[in-house]
A and B are shown apart, each in its own frame.
Chain A
């Protein structure tokens, strides 16, 4: 069995894995990181989105062995000292979640979008989130939340 080294939410792990083990199952079943859920088997829904070496990836469509040596950030690794990341806070303020199943992936996709587009338009947000499905919200409040999150993250950068 291949041995891999992977850093997840700041913690380094060494694991022997079956080649076919999906990254999301490594996270959930082996490392107990159940904050990242699975919603489909065709990489359509995006619920399992994590940051892989700083860029969004659908962890159900990555083999654990492919993540060897990589840095993974999940929804559980956001925020610091018990406080929420500005994007999580924005989702809360704008009521951008209902059942919450898509939320981890949606938040990660939103943060990823802002890497390149710190001040996105409504259209840019909608297109940036095209790989993440939500069945509850109709997306209106998610779009609002991403705009608010962007503003607050921009604010945070300016005050630093």
Chain B
């Protein structure tokens, strides 16, 4: 039995279940001090005075600093994705020196012997502000009279692309649908708040951080602080979720490093949740103007998308690129003659936005899947029928879409058929009709989302073309230990995804060793010296394949050694189940024996070194394109506006599956987050630019009591772009589910003349839509 495909229980679980965890906040270093930051209460202001002297006299206080104290060395937080030639990347000092541009921006800090003393001392710091006007609304921000966030103006960039004859597509089109959707601002809310611990021996530095990107962070810390890269070690210990929010180079990471450098002491900073809601980068926040032209039979002629994307106050690591990750996804699984996409990035005096689970693709999928329902309603067609008339048929793969991506594989018909059967579509439609006839105060709606997405970031060549400041490869290394056990090092940096288990399965199959004999190391640049980390549903399709390639190289070496020891030609050897056998004989060597032979090195052939290990980088030739059909049945109480999920079915096609248990978990969690966008979550700023949703009492995350059981299943159309046939799964559920839920709500209310409800679809908003 192969390991790949087995529902192996996770190797990661034991320590997490018993509290033997290494969260950054659990770590201590000798002489460690605690840092806390004083944060701006103003959305936009000039800092006229910072006086930390009163804090310095307080018990336990070791140091207190203003932004000016680090002005010479703190550099500017990096933006690695200058998306266009016209992009404006403003200076972004980790601690503000002269002006603050969002509530929560750090203006000063204290270093104390413990966090209680640090919290007290913060209150003794005096800061004077000269208020400047807040800039909150994107449309207003772009008007000539608007106050400016930065001197260069409020437009961060604009870009436009057109494929095909878009004017012809819209000219005399029998149907044109024109809609504007708002992707509300979200707070990623990983359960582990951020935390940073920095230490130094005077010359070199170690930084532990709750990060998704230890490798990228190391490079960026070197660039920002000027500390040489080889003097910086970054460790991502146990990391409690990320969802994109820990794909960042943060002010706190830079400053902790610099404070450790200045004091020559270990310093730790741990975020509180209310601090995090203000200062962990936010997600989404777009206004989408979408126009769709179609024939009378529902066939799409053309699609125009014009986005306003809220950057917040600064461009952080990949802020400007996030909306553009959706640029090629609005056309989704549909064929059309012409496509136009434009995006304007806008500065506002809010927390910067950046990657949040799906990053650009959920926004695109939401837009197009809502539009498809609108088209169906306009034509009085079943929403699935209108999709069928437009989607790429399974025999048409590989298929190059209007936006220029080549989808390698897929079968939208199969996933949809399976989902319909599990859902009981026809029966629910009958119940819907019945409730409508009866005028039942609780109406039933059915929402469809036939999504695809591009993930597995990414072919380096493509990233280069997009002006992205890094490659898209991943690194893996595999070493056979003398006793035949296997140590795998991955450049991926898991924070809940189960890479240790999944990589063990891949390696066990490839090398023919027991699953239990494989260990996987990650997340420490001193151990995993090379990597591009974990985001964009890339770990398996890029990092997993790198590990597989490294296994191939190890087997090549082992083959040479086996041939030498067995006195045959390498070509005479068959490899199966961890054993090289001389074809047609009983003579054989196991890979474990070969590992020991390599260790002894008593009898190595010419040109073979005393090690059975290797490493590899893998650069994908294409993205991976998971797809699926999600169906949501929603009960909407028309008296109160309360919408409740009655049932939810998801059939996903992520190609071949390494561990079905882990895959199902990813889908479940993704669906929950997508539903949460549709129904519950919204970061709300008031008219002065204060964030109102600073706690979990106000920023509503769903609990178990607020979500239903999800029915999940799969179809399996292998990816052709990698040897395992796998596609990414980390973001699929989130991308698919949001439009399924909102489509269901709108479907329930359509007889009442409702064709949109803004997210999150709160009872109040639904009630107002009905009024």
Contacts and interface: CB of A to CB of B under 8 A. Distances in A.
A and B touch in the complex (CB under 8 A): yes
A78 B16 CA distance: 13
Contact of B14 (A20, A75, A92, A131): A92
Nearest to A88: B17
Contacts of B274: 41-42
Interface string B159-194: 000000000000000000000000000000111110
Contact of A37 (B23, B190, B498): B23
Given A45-B273, A98-B669, A136-B496, A92 B17 contact: yes
A-B complex: 10 closest residue pairs judged by Cβ atoms:
A35-B19, A100-B16, A99-B496, A101-B240, A138-B672, A138-B668, A44-B696, A98-B496, A34-B26, A40-B273
B19 A135 contact: no
A12 interface: no
Given A42-B697, A98-B669, A79 B18 contact: yes
Given A99-B241, A103-B16, A130 B704 contact: yes
Interface in A59-104: 74-76, 78-79, 84, 88, 91-93, 95, 97-104
Contact of A45 (B16, B239, B661, B696): B696
Contacts of A44: 695-697
Given A41-B695, A99-B496, A137-B665, A34 B17 contact: no
B705 A99 contact: no
B107 interface: no
Given A37-B25, A127-B704, 20 more contacts: A35-B18, A35-B21, A37-B240, A42-B696, A92-B10, A92-B14, A97-B16, A98-B669, A99-B192, A100-B13, A100-B21, A100-B238, A126-B707, A129-B703, A130-B704, A136-B669, A138-B670, A139-B707, A140-B668, A140-B710
B652 to A, nearest CB: 13
B9 interface: yes
Contact of A103 (B17, B498, B671): B17
A18 B243 CA distance: 37
B116 interface: yes
Contacts of B18: 35, 75-76, 78-79, 84, 88
Nearest to B274: A41
A29 interface: yes
A138 B496 contact: no
- Chain A CB within 10 Å — which of B495, B496, B733 has the most? B496
B272 interface: yes
A102 B669 CA distance: 14
Given A41-B695, A75-B18, A135 B497 contact: no
A72 to B, nearest CB: 13
A136 B704 CA distance: 12
9 contacts: A37-B25, A37-B26, A41-B695, A92-B9, A95-B10, A100-B238, A130-B703, A136-B669, A138-B673
B241 A138 contact: no
A89 to B, nearest CB: 8
A100 B496 contact: yes
B13 A135 contact: no
Contacts of B696: 40, 42, 44-45, 133
Interface of A: 18, 20-21, 28-29, 33-42, 44-45, 47, 74-76, 78-79, 84, 88, 91-93, 95, 97-104, 107, 122, 125-127, 129-143
Given A35-B20, A41-B695, A92-B14, A47 B9 contact: no
A135 B190 contact: yes
A100 B193 CA distance: 13
Contact of A129 (B16, B673, B701, B704): B704
B669 A137 contact: yes
A76 B710 CA distance: 32
A97 B487 CA distance: 25
A28 B665 CA distance: 30
B192 A139 contact: no
Contact of B241 (A136, A142, A143): A136
A81 to B, nearest CB: 13
Nearest to A104: B19
Interface string B706-721: 0101100000000000
A127 B272 contact: no
Contacts of B19: 33-36, 74-76, 104
Contacts of A93: 9
B540 interface: no
B273 A138 contact: no
Contacts of A76: 18-20
B273 A39 contact: yes
The interface centre, meaning the residue of A18, A29, A41, A126 with most chain B CB atoms within 10 A of its CB, is A41
Given A37-B23, A92-B10, A140-B709, A132 B703 contact: yes
Contacts of A141: 664-665, 668
Q: Is the interface of A mostly helix, strand, loop or mixed?
A: loop
Contacts of A28: 25-26
A123 B192 CA distance: 27
A102 B495 CA distance: 13
Contacts of A143: 704, 709
Contact of B192 (A101, A126, A129): A101
B593 interface: no
B703 A95 contact: no
A117 B115 CA distance: 40
Contacts of B16: 97, 99-100, 103
A122 B665 contact: no
Contacts of B190: 99, 101, 135
Given A44-B696, A79-B18, A122-B709, A37 B668 contact: no
A95 B662 contact: yes
A42 B695 contact: yes
Contacts of A100: 12-13, 16-17, 21, 238, 240, 496
A79 to B, nearest CB: 7
Contacts of B193: 38-39
Contacts of A38: 25, 193
A102 B273 contact: no
B295 interface: no
Given A41-B272, A42-B696, A138 B17 contact: no
Interface in B100-136: 114, 116
A92 B11 CA distance: 9
Contact of B703 (A39, A79, A131): A131
A48 to B, nearest CB: 11
Contacts of B12: 100
B669 A95 contact: no
B704 A142 contact: yes
Contacts of B701: 133, 135
A47 B17 contact: no
A84 B9 CA distance: 15
Contacts of B20: 35, 76
A151 B314 CA distance: 53
Contacts of A39: 191-193, 273
A141 B662 CA distance: 11
A3 to B, nearest CB: 18
Contacts of A35: 18-21
A88 B703 CA distance: 20
A107 B503 CA distance: 27
Nearest to B120: A20
A4 to B, nearest CB: 17
Given A92-B17, A135-B669, A101 B662 contact: no
Contacts of B240: 37, 99-101
Contacts of A99: 16, 190-192, 239-241, 495-496
A34 B273 contact: no
Interface in B188-228: 189-193
A101 B241 contact: yes
A130 B697 CA distance: 13
Contacts of A91: 13, 17
A114 B703 CA distance: 18
